[in-house]
Amino acid sequence: MASVVAGVSRLVCGATAVWQCDPRAVRQRIYFANHTSHLDFIAIWSALPPALRAAVRPVAGSDYWAKGRLRPYLARRVFDAVLIDRPRPGTATAATASASIQRMAEEMGGRRSLIVFPEGTRTVDGQVGPFKSGLYHLARLRRDVELVPVYLENLNRILPKGEMLPVPMLSRVVFGPPFPVLEDEEKHEFLARARAAVLGLHGGQ
């Protein structure tokens, strides 16, 4: 089933994978990317080599992926996604955010990698919004793993926010070089640098 879903995703998204890091590396990673579509984590997951794909878990909102019949099946049985309860606007607290980050770190265990979207929500215009603090805290909790920036190109046109059916067209998934975590770096500096690393992959060869 995983191979079928990956094949359908590549057909719909027409995604070309561009690697600026080793695609065969077995080290645990946190792939962090811009977020414009519900197809985003599927595009990244499908672009991974099959040997890596089985060990990579997308992080996704349970408010979308736990509804209906097909989405929960895909999330749990195919992608083995880490489903996070996202608080309603205006109800988020530091405690709930910390619990979500702690859970992500624990779900990685000793061999799994994650796909995360630091913006926290999809953008409407395709622009990369500010990164929220979750990536910073996750990187501090899991200093043993490698961070890899990813830029998704054209996914917002294939399945725009608010639309239900994708429009097949070409896209790209650009995996950047490993992103270093610097000691004693302030949170805002880390997040600005991480966002710049994703933006720097736009148009990258």
Torsions phi, psi for 58 (to 5 deg): -70, 145
In a domain, 111, yes or no: yes
In a domain, 186, yes or no: no
- The parent domain of residue 36 ranges over 14-179
> For residue 57, what is the DSSP state?
E
Mean pLDDT of 159-178: 69
Three-state SS sequence of 96-116: HHHHHHHHHHHHHCCCCEEEE
Number of folded domains that form the chain: 1
pLDDT of residue 188: 96
Confidence of residue 165 (pLDDT cuts 50, 70, 90): very low
pTM to 2 decimal places? 0.87
In a domain, 67, yes or no: yes
141 membership: H or E segment, kind and range: helix 134-141
In a domain, 201, yes or no: no
In a domain, 28, yes or no: yes
Torsions phi, psi for 31 (to 5 deg): -85, 120
Alpha helix ranges (H) inside the chain = 2-13, 40-47, 50-53, 62-65, 70-73, 94-108, 134-141, 155-158, 187-199
CATH number (domain holding residue 96): 3.40.1130.10
In a domain, 30, yes or no: yes
Task: Report how far residue 97's alpha carbon sits from residue 100's, in angstroms, rounded to the nearest whole number.
Answer: 5
In a domain, 4, yes or no: no
Judge whether residue 89 has pLDDT over 80.
no
Do the Cβ atoms of 112 and 82 come closer than 8 Å? Answer: no
In a domain, 120, yes or no: yes
Mean pLDDT of 177-190: 95
